[in-house]
Structure formats: structure tokens, C-alpha cells
Structure 1
Amino acid sequence: MPRPLTAEAEVADELSVVRPDLAARYAAELPAARAAVLTRLWRALAHEPLPWVESRTPSGEGVTLRLRDGRRLHGPAPDPYATAAYVTAVRLDDVAQDRPARLMTDLAVPHGADLAAELDHSVASLALSRAGQPPHPEEWPGSDWEWEQRVVDGHPYHPNCRSRPGFSVAEQLAHAPEHRPLVGLGLVPVPAETCLVTGAWPEQLRDGRRVLIPVHPWQAAHVLKRPCEERLTGHPLMSLRTLALDGGVHVKTALSARLTSSVRDISVPSVAASMTLSAFAAQLAARTDGLLHITRTLGAVTDGSPDLAAVLRESPQEYGGPGERVLPVAALATTELPDSAEWLGEFARLALAVGLRLLELGVALEAHGQNLLVVLSATGAPVRLVYRDLADIRVSPARLARHGIPVPELPARILTDDVTTLRRKLFGSLVAGALAGTAGSGAALRTALETAVRDLPRTPDLAALCEEPLPTKALTLMRLSPGTVGDLWTELPNPLL
């Protein structure tokens, strides 16, 4: 029987039909895309608590993993904070492995076949994402969505950084931000009496007694399975399902597809709590002396199903002054920064001061490179932060009470007084995520953190950050544990120790 097509070959075949001008560039990008995904996978193999890895031993200039079945896997000494692709091959016993999907297949671990398929798709989509990129202009972008489009490689540490199962090549080119499309959204009319609407849903998204819910075209075609006349246009942002509309408003649409790791939705409880959570977050941000702003939720709607819902938010650009730029932290790696080592130290000090202040008050932000934005002065200095998307923060009622802050009515899933959970949420996203991804290596991250922590208040949270291993989500273990609910974690070597 003929060997099944790999995702790399499938994308090549589709590309030859829909964009033949990109075919040669796509093929040329594949080796680097394999190395980029393999580097992320090797980070997971070297550091996550995978049950079939019995030991990890420094060996020569690298590390050897002893597997439960007696085989050995050898690769370079891992830098868990590196963003450059430095792993071009590893050795499983005596066999060199340079393709992440093939390595995962040959490891033959539980649920590995599903992950192998996702890794295969991640490589192919990453090569496709890189294939159509023009040279970056020297000047800074003038709009928020242009900054978002610069983030081509996706998550800096997840092996599924560009996995988009269910999206054809044509759909990726038409909907993904790095391909710079203008996306047409449908509007589905729903009787107002059957909807949950919070906030001020605009008149232009109403039709008499019906509410018009913006729908992503992929969702309309694959989930709702109904035609939707395209009546809104927007530029897709890093999350793909969130778009910048004319007039500066951002709309978060329901998109029931697995992007990177999870199938995200807009639940009924999140719509119900959206305005309360937005007002509460703004109240907390006011205690940071102007160093943090939260993008306000303007309105939210659902027909009672996570498949048909939408949230309207302010653009983070609302918080930039004359001559300033507001950009997601993930986009920092795409631009030249003045005196990068000194700049990174200043940025780390700003980010940690804000994050630790809110944590002390009782709120742990999920401050990764997509949710956290930085305001740069005309000279490029980091001056303020902006945070968007409050869906995954954690709130401690006990800490709020200590500071005399009333606890609003919030979804139970975001409430916790567990110190480990709160610190994992902030440190895993901000330090092991946003700051590490910007630094690009363990050495650069250490220098930045040493600069940043020097003048910060010596709280128990700061002591934990300085003295304990650094928590981060075990992203690959989570993909290999389909029956597990919630996040799984691992610990990385602390750059400060």
C-alpha cells in the first residue's frame, strides 16, 4: 500500500494549487521549521515529568535520557529559555532523528501517535507561515494589527507552535495573521430574548429585536455549517479568532478549533461575568500608579452555546500617547531594541513590579507574550504595560480581603487562595513565558532578572521567584494526557540560582 501523505506533503500539494508562487519557498523553509519544532520538543523531553523518561544524565556536550524500555535518547545540552532553533537532530539509540513527528512516532509512547500528527502539522504550517513573509520594513508599524502580524512562529516554547488541524492551506492563507489577510465576518441574527447580552452591545450590531453576533468564517463553515453573509471586516490578531475592526474595536469570536494546544470557547459564565471582571480588573490596575492599564470589555453576547458568542474589547492602542507604540510582548523579538541588555533589564523591572504588585493584592495575571503588551516611548523605552483578555487570571479572595478589597461575584474556576497556583499562573506566564521569550536565552534572562529584582519590595512572592525553581506549563505532557483536566506543570532551572 502507498505510504500516507505527511502534512508536509499535503501542504505542498495544496499549495501547488492555491499559491504555486510559494511552493519553492515553502520547500526551502521546511528544514528550518523542523529544527524549530524539534528544539521545542527537545526542551519538553529534557525538562517535563514524562512518565516514560527514567533519568536524564549529562553526557559529553549534551544530555542522555534513559527511557523506561531501556532505550537511550541523546541530544544537545538544553537551554530551556532559548528561542533560536539549536537542535537539528537527536539520536534514539543509534538512529539520528531530525523530524519531530517521526521521533514521536518511534518513541511509541501512550498517545504519541496523536501528538506526532500534530507535530507534523506544526512543521508544515510553520514552513508555510515563513514562506510568504516579506522583509520587515525598518520603520515601526503604525497599527496594532501590523505588530501582531510580525509574530510568525507562534508560541516560542510549544512544539505545536503552528499546529492548526482542520485548517486547509487556503484557510490558513485567508485567516491567519502572519499571512496578513483582511477577514470577512458573518453576522448571525438571534432573537434578543434568547440571548445573554452584557455591557453595551452596539446598535450597528442589532437588527430590531434581534442581536447580530459576529461569526468567524471558519466557524460558520465547519461548526455552524451555515452560510453567513460577510458584513464586517477585520485584521486577525495573534490569537487568530480575535480581529481588529475598523474604528479600533477588537472582537473575539467563537472558534471551535484546536489552536496550538486547546480548543478555546466563549462560555456562558464568561459572558455573564465579563463586565464585572472588567470593572474589577480596572479597579486593581488603578493601584499600580499608572503602570498598568486593562483593556475594557465593551460588551459580550452568547446564544447559550460556546459555538456562537462574541466579546467586544477596547484596542490596547487606546493607552498609547503621542509618539508611543503599543505592541504585544511577543512582537518584541521582531524589532531592534536600543541597547538590548539594558532595555531588557528595564522591561523586566517594569513587568515584575506590576505583576508582583497585583499578585500581592490578590490577582495573578496570565501575562504571556500575547496577553501582555508594552507601551514604548518615542525612543523605544518601556514606559507602561497593557493587559488584555481576563478569562484565565486567578483571584485570591483571602489576599483581596487583607487589602480591604471587596470580592466581586466571579466564576468559581478563577477563585483560589492556593499560593502555588497563584505563583504558577504569574511566574509561568510572565517569567518563563514573556520575559524568557523576549530574552531568548537563559544567560540573557538571568542578566535581566538580576537587574530587575534588585530594587523590588522583598515580599514572600519575590523570595519564591528568586529562590525556587521556575514553574512552567508542561505543554507536551498535557498533549500526551488527553484524559487530564486542567494544566500540568514542571519546574525549570531558576536563572537566578
Structure 2
Amino acid sequence: MHRPRPAEAEFADELAVVRPDLVARYAAELPGARAAVLTRLWRGLTHEPLPWVVAREAGREGLTLRLADGRRLHGPHPDPYATAASVGEVRLDGIAYDRPAHLMTDLGVPHGTDFAAELADSVASLALSRASQGSPSKSRPVHDWEWEQRVVDGHPYHPNCRSRPGFSVAEQLAYGPEHRPLVRLGLVPVPATECLATGEWPDELRDGERLLLPVHPWQAEHVLKRRTSEGLDAHPLMSLRTLAVAGDRHVKTALSARLTSSVRDISVYSIGVSATLSEFAQTLARRMDGLLHFTRTLGAATANSPDLAAVLRESPRLYGDRVLPVAALATTDLPASPAWLAEFARLALTAGLRLLEHGVALEAHGQNLLVVLSPSDAPVGLVYRDLADIRISPARLARHGIPVPELSGRVVTDDVTTLRRKLFGSLVAGALAGTAGSATALRGALESAVRDLPRTPDLVALLERPLPTKALTLMRLSPGTPGDQWTELPNPLL
């Protein structure tokens, strides 16, 4: 089957021009990056409801997938919660594949060609990230953004963990958080009468009757195609489009590029509801007895376009001297302690299930959820940021006497399945699983954590049913299907 010129080679050619000192390290990291992406892809192939996989047969030497066309795909027994495991190769009708893009191409499934290109980009970008980062630092970061920049491999379970189509090598080095750059955000003046703005837009981002909207330089060049005035020095955070600026503020910028699954613009809808959601979240925080805080949205504005918008939020560091994203825990030695992991799981489940019972399901994955550490490294609190994807149940809120905010649209639902999927898929199958790193470690942490939790119907569902998680591979192979798609993983507690 015809294969285009590999992304790996294209990256190497660009790197030889912009950073020749990294060429050898990049080449050395490629085999590990291929295995890391293949591991994530194999997880999706073995656990998601892909229409062309008709049977999965476990044997002593691994798992075999029977495909609709009669072929067989064989690989190791997968642990859907493993993060350190490495799948070096799988075999399609006896032919070995160690490159995920080649495997996806030769599977010949609908939309597989485009997905294969994303997988190739993910491998090359991951190798570049690892090469640039070098040996992990043992010292504790001083600034909150330094914790975020220690997360090198991206999403622990998504095959597109580092896919950044549309970004050159030079742009990845200039803007990717793991490369630790200083980014200069531009400012675009827009008449206030032409903007939708909520919250308090700061005076320093105003010019008379115009609002100055912070714009990511990639967005300015590739989407807006316009020059911007001098703006703000910023440190990119895990999401790449959100950056830390002076004054303990974070700026979420529009970035109309596909990163992992989604195009990262900022919808006009999310700007419109941002102030209401932020006020509502502070009401919720007062019911959490200090367990969970929400970063406040200071202001949000859009020029009535998802391509030109920005959200200003307070930094999570306002809630503790040491606050780090859950995803960054893997860069420490804390999760290696079963006792520490159990205490963290107890804290996270207590907060998440209490909010769910009251009517709010968080998208509590390792990027949105942060943990507050005491001087002795004990997990003593949580911080949640980015309210755009939470779900709110008016019926549950009313049942608990909580005033229902004036909201409509996608954040509002009383559907129990939707609410539980949102929390369980992000918190348990995401943040906690990624921190634990294996089914065995996750089971141990959950068994300890759930013993003293109130036995609500939501907890019973968590204990007794398969664990929902987003079908990340199926979603990339279903471009015509909007919204999230789901699968179920074996419940480690059963």
C-alpha cells in the first residue's frame, strides 16, 4: 500500500535546520515514541466498539481481534489503565507492525487514512517533546507553570497524545509547553460595541472604547492572518492555548487547530455563560468545606467569533503554595506510595461524588483537576479550572435546595447516564487511573477510598457497573458523528 513520506523524516529535516543539536536525540527517541502511541492505539482497538472488530478472543499468549473481513490482529493482553506499559508490536495476519500509522493504513478501515496521518504526527511530535525535554528534573518547581511544563507525553490514553497537525517543528518548539518557551501574546483591538463580554475586562486590556483581545501568535498567523500589536509575555500551560501571565492570571486563547480530538477555539456560547458559571461555582465551593475550590473567571470576551476570543482566569496557585495539575503527579514519586494514592483517591472521590449528588458533574481529568499539597506532600485540597465542559442537573440542584443558575445549552442536563459518564470517565478512568498507572494500583486505591463514602446511587453505579470512558479512537474514526462517543472498561473493583 502506498505510504506518503513519513512525518518522522519531515520532522528530522526541519529539525536539522532550526535545532540541529536535537537531531540525534530526536532519532533516539523515535522507537519509544512509536511504542507509546501504539500502546494507546492498541488500548482503543481492544476496548472500543469499533464496527469492523467482530470478536475479541483472549488466549494464553495475548488477545486476538477478529476483523469483519476475516483478518486477525494479535497483540498482548491489554491493561486499559496502564500508563508505563509498552506495546512494541502487534501482528496483522502474522505481519508485525511497530508503527501505528502503518498499522492503521493497512487496516484499510473507513477514515483510517486521515487517522493514520494524525498517528504519524503524534509519534514525531512525541519524539520531539522527549528530545527537547531531556532528563527530568528532580527539583521541585518554583512557579505553577513549571509543573505544567513537566508533562511531556500528553494525554496518557489518547493515540493522538501529541498530535499537532498544522504546527511546524519550529512552531512546536516555540509554543509547546514541554519545550518551555516564553510566548509573546499579541493584542487585537476590537470596538467594545462589536464584542460580547462578560465579567470584568481589565483596564490594561482596554484602549478607549476598544477591548484588546489576547491572541496566540499561531492563531494570528494561520487563522486571523493579521498582525497584532505587542502584548503579553506568557508561559504556555498543559493545554498549549492557555498561558500564565503576570499578576497570577491565566489567559485562555482561541487556537483553531486540532489537538488530540478537538479544535481548540472558544465558542460564543462559552463566553456568554462564563460569568454565570463562575459565580455559580463559587456558590458550590462554599458547600465543599474547603475540599474543592474553583478558579474564578475574571473576564471573557469575543468578537462574536470562536476564532477571536479570550478568557481571563485567576491562577490556581492562589489556593495554596504548592498546587499542581493531577497529570503532573506522574513526574513525582508520590503515586508510588499506595497510602498516598489511596488518600488522594479518597479526597477526589469525596469531592466529585458530593458535587454529583448535588447536581454538578465535573470534567475532572488530569488537566482540569489540580491537587493542593501540604509541606509534607499530603493531598489536602483540590482546585478545578475551566468550567466550559461541566454538566449541571437542575433537578438535582432543586432537590438539594441549590438555586438553579440561568443557563441553557449543552451544560444543562438531567440525564443520569450523561452526568455519570462525565464524572466517572474523566475522574476515575482519567485522572485517578492515569495517576495510579495500572489496574492493580487503581483497584487498591479505590478499595481504600470508597469504604467511608456515603452510599449514594452514584457510588453504587461506580462500584457495580463497568467504568465509562470516552472512545477516543472511535471518535477519530467517526468524523461525521458530533459529540463524545463512549465505551466501557472493566471495573477494577469487580
With the shorter chain as reference, the TM-score category is: over 0.9
**1:93-172 aligned within 5 A:** 93-172=93-172
- Tell me the equivalent position of 2:311: 311
Pairing 1:329–2:340 present:
no
Q: Give per-residue Cα distances to partners, 1:212-246, cap 9 Å, x unaligned.
A: 00000000000000111332110000000000001
Deviation at 1:346, TM superposition (A): 0.1
Query: Do 1:201 and 1:299's aligned partners in 2 also have CA atoms closer than 8 Å?
Result: yes
Query: Partners in 1 of 2:192 and 2:121 — Cα distance?
Result: 41
Query: Do 1:270 and 1:411's aligned partners in 2 also have CA atoms closer than 8 Å?
Result: no
Query: Partners in 1 of 2:434 and 2:282 — Cα distance?
Result: 27
Query: Partners in 1 of 2:148 and 2:172 — Cα distance?
Result: 16
Q: Which residues of structure 1 form unaligned runs of 5+?
A: none
* Equivalent position SS for 1:288: coil
Q: Give per-residue Cα distances to partners, 1:183-209, cap 9 Å, x unaligned.
A: 001100011111111111111100111
Deviation at 1:339, TM superposition (A): 6.1
Pairing 1:340–2:337 present:
yes
Query: Do 2:72 and 2:92's aligned partners in 1 also have CA atoms closer than 8 Å?
Result: yes
Query: Do 2:335 and 2:436's aligned partners in 1 also have CA atoms closer than 8 Å?
Result: no
Query: Partners in 1 of 2:411 and 2:4 — Cα distance?
Result: 44
Pairing 1:385–2:382 present:
yes
Which range moved further: 291-300 or 127-136?
127-136
Deviation at 1:86, TM superposition (A): 1.8
Q: What is the letter of the counterpart of residue 385 of structure 1?
A: L
Q: State the TM-score, normalizing by the size of structure 1.
A: 0.98
**1:263-282 aligned within 5 A:** 263-282=263-282
Query: Do 2:335 and 2:435's aligned partners in 1 also have CA atoms closer than 8 Å?
Result: no
Query: Partners in 1 of 2:134 and 2:474 — Cα distance?
Result: 35
User: Over aligned residues, Cα RMSD in angstroms?
Assistant: 1.2
The partner residue of 1:354 within 351, 354, 359 is 351
Pairing 1:421–2:448 present:
no
* Equivalent position SS for 1:22: helix
Q: What is the letter of the counterpart of residue 337 of structure 1?
A: L
Q: Give per-residue Cα distances to partners, 1:392-438, cap 9 Å, x unaligned.
A: 00000100010111211123211111111000000000000000000
* Equivalent position SS for 2:159: coil
Q: What is the letter of the counterpart of residue 452 of structure 2?
A: D
Deviation at 1:4, TM superposition (A): 3.3
Q: What is the letter of the counterpart of residue 18 of structure 2?
A: V
Query: Partners in 2 of 1:74 and 1:142 — Cα distance?
Result: 46
Residues 32, 338 of structure 1: alpha-carbon distance in 2 compared, 3 angstrom cutoff: closer
Q: Give per-residue Cα distances to partners, 1:432-491, cap 9 Å, x unaligned.
A: 000000000000000000010011000000000000000000000000000101110000
Residues 424, 3 of structure 1: alpha-carbon distance in 2 compared, 3 angstrom cutoff: closer
**1:18-417 aligned within 5 A:** 18-320=18-320, 324-337=321-334, 340-417=337-414
Query: Partners in 2 of 1:170 and 1:164 — Cα distance?
Result: 12
* Equivalent position SS for 2:141: coil
- Tell me the equivalent position of 1:15: 15
Q: What is the letter of the counterpart of residue 108 of structure 2?
A: A
Pairing 1:480–2:477 present:
yes
The partner residue of 1:432 within 429, 434, 441 is 429
Query: Partners in 2 of 1:3 and 1:375 — Cα distance?
Result: 48
The partner residue of 1:447 within 432, 444, 449 is 444
Q: Which residues of structure 2 form unaligned runs of 5+?
A: none
Query: Do 1:189 and 1:210's aligned partners in 2 also have CA atoms closer than 8 Å?
Result: yes
- Tell me the equivalent position of 1:495: 492
* Equivalent position SS for 1:189: strand
Query: Do 2:335 and 2:341's aligned partners in 1 also have CA atoms closer than 8 Å?
Result: no
Q: Give per-residue Cα distances to partners, 1:238-273, cap 9 Å, x unaligned.
A: 000000001210000011000111102211121111
Query: Partners in 2 of 1:474 and 1:363 — Cα distance?
Result: 23
Deviation at 1:340, TM superposition (A): 1.3
Q: State the TM-score, normalizing by the size of structure 2.
A: 0.99
Which range moved further: 229-238 or 380-389?
229-238
Deviation at 1:3, TM superposition (A): 6.3
Query: Partners in 2 of 1:167 and 1:13 — Cα distance?
Result: 15
Deviation at 1:336, TM superposition (A): 1.6
Query: Do 1:35 and 1:85's aligned partners in 2 also have CA atoms closer than 8 Å?
Result: no
Deviation at 1:136, TM superposition (A): 2.8
Query: Partners in 1 of 2:171 and 2:73 — Cα distance?
Result: 37
- Tell me the equivalent position of 1:465: 462
Residues 339, 442 of structure 1: alpha-carbon distance in 2 compared, 3 angstrom cutoff: closer
- % identical equivalent positions: 78
* Equivalent position SS for 2:351: helix
* Equivalent position SS for 1:238: coil
Query: Partners in 2 of 1:178 and 1:11 — Cα distance?
Result: 17
Q: What is the letter of the counterpart of residue 67 of structure 2?
A: L
4+ residue runs over 4 A deviation: none
